Every structure is written in C-alpha cells, then in structure tokens.
Structure 1
C-alpha cells in the first residue's frame, strides 16, 4: 500500500484514491489499475502514438534513421510479445510509417519487399533493422548532450563538503561555460559562432531539439523563465531571444510598401547586380534588384523551391496603382544565404517573402560600350549582362546590403556607379531622353478591404439560398450512402436502418467497465437528488412502453456478436431555464481503450437543406406555417445486428442489480443519426411525389433537421399542403407537432386533434 501511495500520479491516482487507505483493498486496487492501464493494447497504442509523433527522419542525418528504426523495432517487439499479431497486418500503419522515410530509403524499401509473398509490419521492422546496422557502422553515434549536462549537474550538487568547495566551483564554471550547440568549452550558446552562423529557422529547430528556453537560451526545464524582456529587434514585441528574431509567430497578412518603376525601354538602368543563392539543393545564379523604396525583401517562389529552402506560410497582400490588388495566400517567410561577385563573402536575407512572380523589369548593360561613352566607369569590376530579369528584390529590411560604400559620378546626366557589399552596380540614365514608365506598389490592406470583404460575405450568404449543392461525394460519404440504401427498409408504418460503420469488420474493445463507472456516478447523483431519480426512472419506463428500448434477454446477450458489443453511458442533462425538464443522453463519444462508438461510425452524406434557403422560402409568401417532428431520431428503428452496439446500464435503485438494456431506435448522441434520419425522411417523402408534389417539395426544401418552415400565397393552399405534409410524415412514422401560423384559420385547421389524422 505504501508503494502504491508513493508511485501513483495523475489519473491513475484519482481512479483508486478512495481505496488507498485500506491495506486489504490492495488486490482490488491492483485489479483496477490492470484493467485501466495494464492491458497490452494500451501499451501498443502508446507506442503507436510515439511512432506517429516522431518527426520524419532526414536523409542527411543517419542518427535520425537509427532512432526511427529503434522506435519501429520496439513497437514490433511489443506487438509480438503481446500476441497482438493483427496489428502487424495493418496496411494503413505500414503506409504511414513508410511515408516518413526519405525518398532514397523509400526506393530501397521498394526493392527490399519485391518478391516477398507477405509484406507486413514485421517485414518493415526487419528492413529498418538492416538500415540501423548499416548506419551504425559508419556513424559515431553520440548520446544526447542534454543527458551529459544532467549528469554533470548531479555531480556538482551531490557533494557539499567544505573540502570540495574549490572543485565544486570549478565544475560549476565548466558546466556553465560549455556550449550546448557545439559542446565546446569556454563560451555559452548565445556566444557560439557556429550557432550564429545558422539560419533563423535552423536556430529555432536547434533550440527546440535541446529543449531550451526561447527567451534566455538556457535549459531550465518547465520552470518559468526569470527573464521577462522582449526581443525589441526592429520593435519586435514577442518574448524570444534576439538571436531568434525573424521567426513568424502569427499567420496574419503582413503589411509592406514597395515601389518599383518599370520602363518601357532601356533608357534607364536600375540598381541590379548578379548574385548567387545557396540552398540544400545546390546554388542558383540570378540577379538582385536593390530598391530603397521597398520596405520588404521579395523572392520568386519557384527559385526558393529550386533551392530546397523551407519556410512558414503567411498571407501577403499585393496592391498596384489603380487599386489593382491580389493576395499571395501561399507566401512563405524564408532566410536565404547568397553572395555577390565574391563567393567567399556570403550574406543572409532574413525574413524574405516569396511571391509567385515578381515581374521586375528586364534590362541589359554593355560594359565595353558604357566605358567608351562614360570615362568614370572605367577600371571598375563591372560585368555585362543581357536581358537580365531579377528574381529577388532587396528592400529596406536588408538595407545594409544595398547601401553605397563608394560612388563614382560623371559629368552631365550619365549613370552613377556605386559599390555595395555585393559588388559594383551602375544605375541612372544612359541617354538624354527617358520614355515614360509606370509603377506598382505592394502594401498592406486598409479599411476598404474590410468593406470589400463584408460586402463579399453578404452576397455569399444571399447566394446560398439559391445555389445548387454539388452531387460529388467523398469516398466515406459514398460508402455511407450505399449502406443507407442497403440497410434501410420499411417495417409497417416505420423505417429501420443500420449504423454507418467505417469498416466492414469492426472489433470494439470492452466498454463495460467504462459504462459501469459512469452508471455509478449517475447513481450517486440521483442519491443526492431523489426528484432526478424519479424523473429518469419514469422516462426509462416510457422508453420501454413506446418500444424505444427493452431489457436485453439472456439469449440476445449470448447470441450477440462480441466484436460489435458496446455500452453507451447513460446521462441526464438539465436546463436551469426549464426547471423540471430532464433530457436523457447516450454518450456515444465516451471512450474505452482510446476508442468511442462515434470514432467507428461515419457521419454520412450531408442531406440538410441550407438554412438560408429554408428561411428565404419561409419569407417568400404572406401565409407562414411552422411545425416540428416529435423525437425525430427515436422514430427510426435500428436493425437487429446493430442493436447490441447500443447497450446501456440501468437500475432503479442504488443497491439494485444492474440490468443491460438495448436501444431499439437511433440515439441523439450517435454521429450517424442525423444523416440516417434525413435519408429516411426524404425516402418516405419520395414515395408520395406523384400524389402530393407540393407537399413533397415542402418536405425536401423547407425542412431544416426536424423543423418545418413553409409559406403560401393563400390560406386555403396553406391548410391543404400542411395536411398533406402531416399525412406524408404520418406514413413514415413521424408526428408533426407545435403547429404555428400567422393566420388564425391556418393555425386552427393545421393543428387539429389527432383523431382527424388520416
């Protein structure tokens, strides 16, 4: 008992807390813990989640392949040890794990499995074992530096003898001054040149990999950081270290102002110069446009993709003169390494934004011709180029790269040569006349955009009342539709249908313990509130009398398919605004062993009429009529094979025996009930299309779930069609109630007594 009291934490402790005071209850405590946490499938599920959560290994990091292979091997070993071999043949799991491998490893896996009669998860585990062995033979696999740091820390603080004070101080200083990135002594992470040389994205990844605080760059675990300062780089108000500045933290549309003039001939030279961009996939030579009138650095997205540079998505609004605009929804924030004429000197463009196409001006420059005409351009390191179109625009956010360090000017109106950190560039007029050009701007949205969006949403709502929904169904919706057509049939004046299972063969875990625990909680609640017990007991009896539920017989329980047996926890919901009213619920979202009934049911095709369309038809004519279907879901029967999936527990008294009941009708909590009810309602209406076309149209187009809202031109038509609608629903087992109308005659005649119903 003492060992249990010391080791239990969290939910495990709460589940057995009441029994941890009696030593005689230890066997019951152990059994409860074994039931909730000791089953093999729970461990396998935890390992599955661990594999799924593990990041995809990169092809250039063999250590990641080794770690990935170890996790896969561990999962396979536990599946075999638990004798749960059915998991080994899971094709979805196998495809998911193979999908995480780099491209070259996928090709090797394809060759490995070729010719094998059986390819399952065990085959993949054997393949990853070979990959681990090969990678381990060529890689010096080192332990996590965080673990080394933890061991040093324990050595420092274990010995507190005064004689060891000097040694302790020395060890502490060494520990403090050791860099966690390069693992060298004498400097901290924030002073590490190797860390500073990384891109912003790589710095963030490294900090996360070492589980360091993004504010102070120290590993103080889950304790709150004592430093409350903000970044303050370029006015940044986020709480991260300045070395991490540049990471996009909010997916909002960025505001920027960019001005670029585009000539129609070569009379003007813009500040462009050749550059070389570097990425994971190699390097690319292009031209950069230096624009001091731009507040943002832009680069064409195709160039970034060619270099293999990744970044975070963030929308960008582009606007030109004449109020022409577009939105780059797929714009990314990237960091690019590049160089000018001297490849050994490399620089970084931080927070550059990608666009689909810059469409910057194309221009040419002939050095030989220019030096003959302008003497001040001679003896400069300038290159000629022809029809050069820049793919990158460097703005004020990277002004340091564009600022002129030296300039050379000639007489008159000739071009000017300026030396930047990227090399010499020539810009200005080449002749005496310049043709007119035009400019475009890239800027942030203003209030006009908000007005435009509001008007767009208004017309989108208006259009929803008249537009037609597409007939295209997804694979899951198509399967649900086929199941509805196959299992739905008329039984007398009612219909019955089956549950919409996600798979043909379903195997549900044992849910009795979960349902029993919820039943005991409900019993304690009813003990505190006798009126609640009386209300629920009365409703259960009414359910049995109406044929909505019945007590399961021993034959039904014995002959039921154990794979599809499921217990729904019974609950009660009260509304303070409706005193005395209690609604019974069957919680289909309750989980046992990580599985709920709703998780194995399909939602089904969306057959609801759009609410705006119903409301538009409702306001179309002068005479309005409304009603609703009484307990719509409970009028839909469930086929015999699926009733054992709708079990629930009930006993009239706290000490009485717990009885097993079966729901014979659709429940409010099941995710497939709305689609099944709508399908039955429409099928029943279609049977009367020839005899009552206007009433059928009202059922199909003026129904929103169980509410009927329609309008008519005359009272006579309202009374006639309403009676037909009530007749059609009556033939399908649905009862319309709560009739309302703005016409006294319509209200009186449509809400007549039940004996007048056909």
Structure 2
C-alpha cells in the first residue's frame, strides 16, 4: 500500500478501524512481507474487536459479489442427491440430480461426432499429444472410471458429451486435461445436459475464512484428494447419460468410432462440485463419534477437494497428517 491510498483527513471523523486496498488483501492473508510492512492501521476510539471482524467480513462479501454464493452446509438429512455406500466397490455411489420433467433434447450424437472430427484433425498434428489423449482413456478403462459400450445403439436416455484437450505447460505432473462439455447444445433453443441437472447447494466455505484460519497458525497444512471426482461412482441407471465418442485405434488411417460411458462422476457437470462436497461431508459424519476433533477440523477445511488448515506445532501437524489419511 502506498501513502496516497489513504487520505488521513477523511479518516478523522470515521469509525472504521482498518483501511486497506482491495489488491492487498490476498497479499496480507498469504503473508507477503512487503504487504505486511506497508499496511497502515488507522484506529478509532469508537472501534472494538467486533467492529474489526465485521468490517473484514463486509469487505470480503463485497469483493465476492457475483463470484461467491451464499454458503449452505450440507447435512445427511438434506442431501440433494441419492447417496449411498457401495460396500463391494468400497466407494460412494450417487444418482444424477435431474430436474423434474427435464431431459436433454436429442442425444448429442451429431455435435459429439462433429467435435470428435475437429479434435482428431488437431491431435494428428501432435502425435505425442494424440498418444497421451488415447492413453488417458485406456487408463480410465483399467481403473473403472469409464467403460466401453460394445453396441452402437442409442436407446432412450442416452446422451453424448463432446470433449477437448486443455494443455497446461506449467504443470509438473498432469499437463493434459480432457474436458467434457456438458453444456453443449445442438442448437440455440435446445437443452443441454447441464440445463437438465440441479446445480445443488453451495457447501464450499468462504476462501476468506480458510485463508484467515491458515494465517492464524504458525504451521500450514495443504493437501488434496487425488482425482477426487473420479472417486465417486455414478448409479448404473444414469450412466447412459454420460456417453462419449472416441476411436478404436489412433494408428489406423480410418479408425472406427467407438462409444464409452462414465462410471464415475464427471468434472464438467454443473452439480459435480456440490456432489463432491456433500459426499466428503457425509463421509466425515461417520467419524464424528470416533474422531470428533479430526472430523470437525476436516469438515471446516475443505475447499472442494483441497484441504487448507493450520496447526500449532510439528507434532500436531504429523498427528493431523496421519489421522487425515
């Protein structure tokens, strides 16, 4: 913050306890030294600690207008999806949250085929990327994320999702991500798959609260659930709505188009974040009696699939790490 960011004359008659610029908030929360050295606190005799807290919360809510929605806490009695534990697979299984009397218009096959042809033309210019794309699907078949559909028939209830590649060259691990477009429409007036699914409640906590809690501890802990969306099983009756097209052999000049369908949750669906959040919260409730403190800590520290929390010392950090696993 520069001196010109604050007009001391304007502060003489105000009750505000803290004046900050919006571009410095994250720097403060993340602990950038320069931001910490240059922050100027202007206290008023009328201000209390509660005033400070309220000012900060009002500021963050203002900054989040149009971005963050009101947080709703998921509970076992108010889950918006049919969630159950599959003891054979050792995973949670959900049904898709369909809107009443809503189904996609058409099956999306034509737009998926057109997108597939465009995708192949691009991938053929980069053989390495083409191979990575194909290998990703083969690995997902082996891991039970997707399954091959031998028949080419499209019965009622089938829907095909277009997909494309997103390349992140700055990533050290996964540089290729395959993104599925559940918002694709055959035309401007038709309904997409996402149009027919409930978005679900926003159970994600405010990032402000998570960062503030992290900065209030001497030691920070971060982790994530690996391939979190793919850990959740889709009920078999909904899987045909999650079909997509690929080819049988990328080395063939004229490969055959084949069909797959998802057995696990797809990231591109509108309700996917809410489903993941509710599944995590539901899972943690199973440990409230056995490990109440740890269940409570984890319940308040997840931002989608990312864990962000803090501890007081190394011993507590190791304990949290071992219990959270």
TM-score, length of structure 2 as denominator length: 0.72
Give the C-alpha shift of residue 561 in structure 1: 5.2
Structure 2 residue aligned with 1:242:
none
Residues of 2 paired with 1:631 and 1:470: CA distance?
24
Give the C-alpha shift of residue 494 in structure 1: 0.9
Structure 2 residue aligned with 1:498:
95
Q: Is the 8 A contact 1:508 1:565 kept in 2?
A: no
Question: 2:182 aligned with 1:588, yes or no?
Answer: yes
Question: 2:55 aligned with 1:460, yes or no?
Answer: no
Structure 2 residue aligned with 1:489:
84
Distance 1:515 1:457, change over 3 A: farther
Superposition map of 1:302-321 within 5 A: none
Question: 2:108 aligned with 1:511, yes or no?
Answer: yes
Instruction: Using CA pairs under 8 Å that are at least 6 residues apart, name the structure with larger relative contact order, 1 or 2.
Output: 2
The gaps in structure 1 that reach 5 residues or longer are: 1-321, 324-454, 474-480, 727-758
Q: Is the 8 A contact 1:565 1:645 kept in 2?
A: yes
Question: 2:149 aligned with 1:526, yes or no?
Answer: no
Structure 1 residue aligned with 2:268:
669
Give the C-alpha shift of residue 721 in structure 1: 2.2
Structure 2 residue aligned with 1:624:
220
- Map Cα deviations across residues 368-417 of structure 1 (whole Å, 9 max, x no partner): xxxxxxxxxxxxxxxxxxxxxxxxxxxxxxxxxxxxxxxxxxxxxxxxxx
Structure 2 residue aligned with 1:574:
167
Give the C-alpha shift of residue 458 in structure 1: 4.2
Equivalent pairs counted in the alignment come to 258
SS of the residue corresponding to residue 709 of structure 1 reads strand
SS of the residue corresponding to residue 592 of structure 1 reads coil
Superposition map of 1:617-696 within 5 A: 617-651=213-247, 652-653=249-250, 655-696=254-295
Give the C-alpha shift of residue 577 in structure 1: 3.1
Give the C-alpha shift of residue 715 in structure 1: 2.1
SS of the residue corresponding to residue 299 of structure 2 reads helix
Q: Is the 8 A contact 1:508 1:566 kept in 2?
A: no
Residues of 2 paired with 1:491 and 1:675: CA distance?
20
Q: Is the 8 A contact 1:549 1:665 kept in 2?
A: yes
Residues of 2 paired with 1:571 and 1:640: CA distance?
25
Residues of 1 paired with 2:303 and 2:59: CA distance?
17
Give the C-alpha shift of residue 482 in structure 1: 5.2
Superposition map of 1:20-39 within 5 A: none
SS of the residue corresponding to residue 595 of structure 1 reads coil
Superposition map of 1:56-205 within 5 A: none
Q: Is the 8 A contact 2:71 2:203 kept in 1?
A: no
Residues of 2 paired with 1:529 and 1:458: CA distance?
50
SS of the residue corresponding to residue 321 of structure 2 reads helix
Q: Given the alignment, which residue of 198, 201, 215 partners 1:602?
A: 198
Give the C-alpha shift of residue 528 in structure 1: 1.4
Distance 1:582 1:639, change over 3 A: same
Residues of 2 paired with 1:508 and 1:687: CA distance?
40
SS of the residue corresponding to residue 711 of structure 1 reads strand
The gaps in structure 2 that reach 5 residues or longer are: 1-12, 15-52, 63-69
Residues of 1 paired with 2:218 and 2:254: CA distance?
60
Distance 1:561 1:724, change over 3 A: farther
Structure 2 residue aligned with 1:351:
none
Structure 1 residue aligned with 2:139:
542
Distance 1:669 1:725, change over 3 A: same
Distance 1:534 1:676, change over 3 A: same
Give the C-alpha shift of residue 472 in structure 1: 9.9
Superposition map of 1:689-728 within 5 A: 689-726=288-325
- Map Cα deviations across residues 666-703 of structure 1 (whole Å, 9 max, x no partner): 11111010000001000001001111112111221111
Choose 683-692 or 570-579, whichever is displaced more. Answer: 570-579
Residues of 1 paired with 2:191 and 2:101: CA distance?
17
- Map Cα deviations across residues 609-630 of structure 1 (whole Å, 9 max, x no partner): 1111111221222222111111
Residues of 1 paired with 2:100 and 2:158: CA distance?
15
Q: CA RMSD in A?
A: 2.8
Residues of 2 paired with 1:711 and 1:670: CA distance?
32
Q: Is the 8 A contact 1:461 1:612 kept in 2?
A: no
Structure 1 residue aligned with 2:20:
none
Residues of 2 paired with 1:526 and 1:471: CA distance?
42
Distance 1:628 1:472, change over 3 A: closer
Give the C-alpha shift of residue 603 in structure 1: 0.9
Superposition map of 1:14-25 within 5 A: none
Distance 1:502 1:633, change over 3 A: same
SS of the residue corresponding to residue 612 of structure 1 reads helix
Give the C-alpha shift of residue 459 in structure 1: 4.7
- Map Cα deviations across residues 276-297 of structure 1 (whole Å, 9 max, x no partner): xxxxxxxxxxxxxxxxxxxxxx
Superposition map of 1:343-362 within 5 A: none
Greater per-residue strand proportion: 1
Greater per-residue helix proportion: 1
Looking at CA atoms only, which structure, 1 or 2, has the larger radius of gyration? 1
